[in-house]
Amino acid sequence: MTAPKIIGIVLVKNEDLFIEQVLTNILDFCDTVIVADNLSTDSTPEKIKELQKHHSKIEYHRINRLSASHDLVKHYAGENAWIFGIDGDEIYDPDGLQSFRNDLVSGRYADWWMIFGNVLHCTGYNKEKKKVTGHLSPPCRSMTKLYNFAVIESWQSSSGERLHGGDIVFKPGFDAGLRCELYKEVDWQEAQFRCLHMCFLQRSSEQKSWKGQYLPRPNPADILSRTRLQWLWTMIRSALGLPIQGKQEWKVDKFTRGPAVSVDAAQFFGKD
């Protein structure tokens, strides 16, 4: 049996503080890394292109529509491929991914549609000590995105960005309920498929703070659902140099459940 391909699809916009680490950590796990850059204005494009010079498996696409990110992977439907969605604030454990890759290519998860891994939703990061603080899933929500495209016939459209909503046609015997929730089976220290979700931290050199804090940035769903009045208010805030935040209450509710913990992040940022 032919081993499945693992295709990374990375959707970014102004992620220059972490993008090198994000991409470096998934390179050995993925056979191809597709980067969809939604018109970044910071140094994100330059950093990606510099990495691309040394890693031929990176594909860079500058897109002006969020939906174009789904167009880059929808043709894999029906193929023996896992599609791995990564955001610019998701830093995975590279060694853990290597072990996890062995399980994926061996067919261990071939009967599942989606796999959810362990996540630490980070509220603090000490770069010098390589320590992060935040909230674990569970009890928080896991937001990893790993899909088995071998079990679907098509996924022609999405609700605004890659791998979100839209119409999915499953092959006989498969359905959307086949969700493997690894984060509920293994704890953080034992997990292979785990990531640091830096959603409450500064991600871009252009990102502005508000009263000493960096507010959660708008998700694509936030942006696409704006009314004309909300668009106008966003433009005014931007012109005044004020930060644009996303649905802060939703993220706080989903990503800050349970006690705050502190963990060693050397595995994610390099041990040197």
Confidence of residue 208 (pLDDT cuts 50, 70, 90): confident
Structure tokens at 8: 């990374």
Higher pLDDT, 215 or 108: 108
pLDDT of residue 2: 86
Q: Considering only CA atoms, which of 79, 129, 98, 90 is closest in space to residue 271?
A: 129
Residue for token digits 């990110």? 69
**pLDDT above 60: residue 227:** yes
The string of pLDDT tens digits covering residues 4-28 is 999 999 999 999 999 999 999 999 9
Evaluate whether 118 touches 49 at the Cβ level (below 8 Å).
no
**C-alpha span between 147 and 115 (Å, rounded):** 7
pLDDT of residue 147: 98
Evaluate whether 26 touches 92 at the Cβ level (below 8 Å).
yes
**C-alpha span between 206 and 13 (Å, rounded):** 11
**C-alpha span between 125 and 129 (Å, rounded):** 9
Phi, psi of 160 (to 5 degrees): 110, -35
pLDDT of residue 248: 60
* DSSP 3-state of 60: strand
Confidence of residue 36 (pLDDT cuts 50, 70, 90): very high
Residues 127-142, mean pLDDT to the nearest whole number: 96
**C-alpha span between 69 and 161 (Å, rounded):** 6
The string of pLDDT tens digits covering residues 84-134 is 999 999 999 999 999 999 999 999 999 999 999 999 999 999 999 999 999
CATH 3.90.550 holds for 5-202+258-269: yes
CA 24 to each of CA 8, 92, 110, 266: distance values in angstroms, whole numbers, following the listed order:
12, 9, 26, 14
**pLDDT above 60: residue 231:** no
**C-alpha span between 157 and 249 (Å, rounded):** 29
Structure tokens at 139: 């009890």
Structural domain boundaries in the chain: 5-202+258-269
Higher pLDDT, 143 or 240: 143
